[in-house]
Each structure stands twice: as C-alpha cells, then as structure tokens.
Amino acid sequence: MEKYKEIERSIIKKYRKDIWSKFVKAIIEYELIKENDKIMVCISGGKDSFLLAKCMQELERHGKYPFKAYYVCMNPGYNEDNLELIKENARIMNIDLEIFESDIFDVVSDIEKSPCYLCARMRRGCLYNKAKELGCNKIALGHHFDDVIETTLLSMFYGAEIKTMMPKLHSENFKGLELIRPLHMVKESDIKAWAKTNDLKFLNCACRFTEKTANKEDESKRLEMKKLVEKLKKDNPNIDYNIYKALDNVNLNCVIGTKNDGEYKRFLDNYDKDN
C-alpha cells in the first residue's frame, strides 16, 4: 500500500474516534463548511496543518456537501532545508500543494519591538489576499483544541479578559472571507500520536528568529499555559475539557461585565430594573 493511503487509512480507522470524529463534529456543530464553498487550506509545514489537509481531502471526496479545497503554503522566507521538508511531506501525503512566495521574514528582520506580532499580521494579510486571488470564500487554519485552551488562559491571565479562539469568524478587512478552524476539537496529543504512527517528521518552528535563539520557546507565555494545564490535569484529567465547555456555558447572570462589539455593559446597568 502506498504511504499516503496508509496515512489516510490511519485517520479513518486507528484515529477515527480521536481525530476524524472530532473533526467532523466541529464541521457540523459549528457549521464550518457549506455546499459549494471554496476553501483555501493553509499549510505552514507543521503537523497540525498537514493533518488538516488530509482531513479536508477525505471530506472533499466523501463528505455530504460538495465543496472545493485549495491547498496552499506561503513561504515567508524559510531556509532551503525547511522548504524542502514541506515539499517532501506534500509529496509523501499526496497533497497537491501550491507554494507562493512572500518576503515577510526580510521585512520584519530589523524590527526590534514585537516582530512576532507584525509577522503574524502580515502573514494573515498575505493569506487573505491569496484566498481572494483563488476565488475562495473561506480560509481553513490548523489550530487545535489545545490552542483554544491556551489562548483562553492567556487572555485571562495576561489580557484581563475572557475570550477564546473561535471556531470561525468573518474577516474584518476582507469582505466576504471567513476563517474556519476544523481541528477545533482535536487534541494536540492525538495529532502527535498520528504523526508518530505514520513516521512523519514535520517542521516544529521555522521562524528565522527562533532559529537564532534556540530556547526562546521555553520562555514563551503559551508554553507556560501548556505546562499549567498539564499540571492541573494530574488532579483533574478533565480540566481542559471543562475550560472548553465553560466557554459554551457562560452564565451572564453571574458575570460582572460583558463587552459586545466594543460596547461594555456592567451587571449594575440592569441590577435594580425589576425590583
């Protein structure tokens, strides 16, 4: 059996419960894909986005609704070894991948303050422009369950607000484009297990700046959240799921203040209304 067929079979068979079913559940529950959608699937070179591509391929072939997926990788300035690894994985996994160039790494290379923030914004803009060029109405990213939990905790601990990584959202700057996250319910540990089962090696971080500072990730706030969740799970194995579920079960009668479209409201605004 060819390698890519073994990879596809593992998603549907061995990891049906942990990956495929959760992928499909998110698609259905959050209404991520509709009939005749044109979706640009963004591949960064990591395990998450390559798994997303394979899941989207399977859904495109056998899903309930017809849609068209385009598999795209933006090269912001990867070194040759990293770029070749992306191409090789696309070949192994039978993904018809289009790679387009940008000079983002060069642009932000001399930025001392918040280069990661600027890089992220520029990458997102390039991807939206590419999606428009392809005639797509949606962009699919490979963020997973753990990304959602860590983002939520980061917002609380460092941003002083409760917000999360949404399963889908409309673009504010590119009218008619929507961002979707089909792996929203899939845990990172299961993605790692899938990659190991298939003996696949992916890019971990291809950022030019972290290449220069090898252990910077150890100092990151996101890794701090990851370690915190791992520690809490030792006493309560369901702690990550409970955080996820809490975001779908907010009791507004027991919240001091809320913000919607920039408008802030305190509980005192209506506290004496019916008394």
What domains lie within the chain, and their CATH numbers? 3-213 (3.40.50.620)
pLDDT band at 217 (very low <50, low <70, confident <90, very high): very low
Query: Could you read off the pLDDT of 15-56 as tens digits, one per residue?
Result: 999 999 999 999 999 999 999 999 999 999 999 999 999 999
pLDDT exceeds cutoff 80 at 272? yes
Mean pLDDT of 137-165: 96
pLDDT for the residue 270: 86
Query: Could you read off the pLDDT of 60-98 as tens digits, one per residue?
Result: 999 888 999 999 999 887 888 999 999 999 999 999 999
Confirm whether pTM is higher than 0.75: yes
DSSP string, the chain: --HHHHHHHHHHTTTIIIIIHHHHHHHHHTT---TT-EEEEE--SSHHHHHHHHHHHHHHHH-SS--EEEEEEEESS--HHHHHHHHHHHHHTT--EEEEE--HHHHHTT--S-HHHHHHHHHHHHHHHHHHHHT-SEEE----HHHHHHHHHHHHHHHSS-----SEEE-SSSTT-EEE-TTTT--HHHHHHHHHHTT----S---HHHHHSTTGGGG-HHHHHHHHHHHHHTT-TTHHHHHHHHTT---GGG-SEEEETTEEEEGGGSTTTT-
pLDDT exceeds cutoff 50 at 165? yes
pLDDT for the residue 203: 86
pLDDT for the residue 23: 98
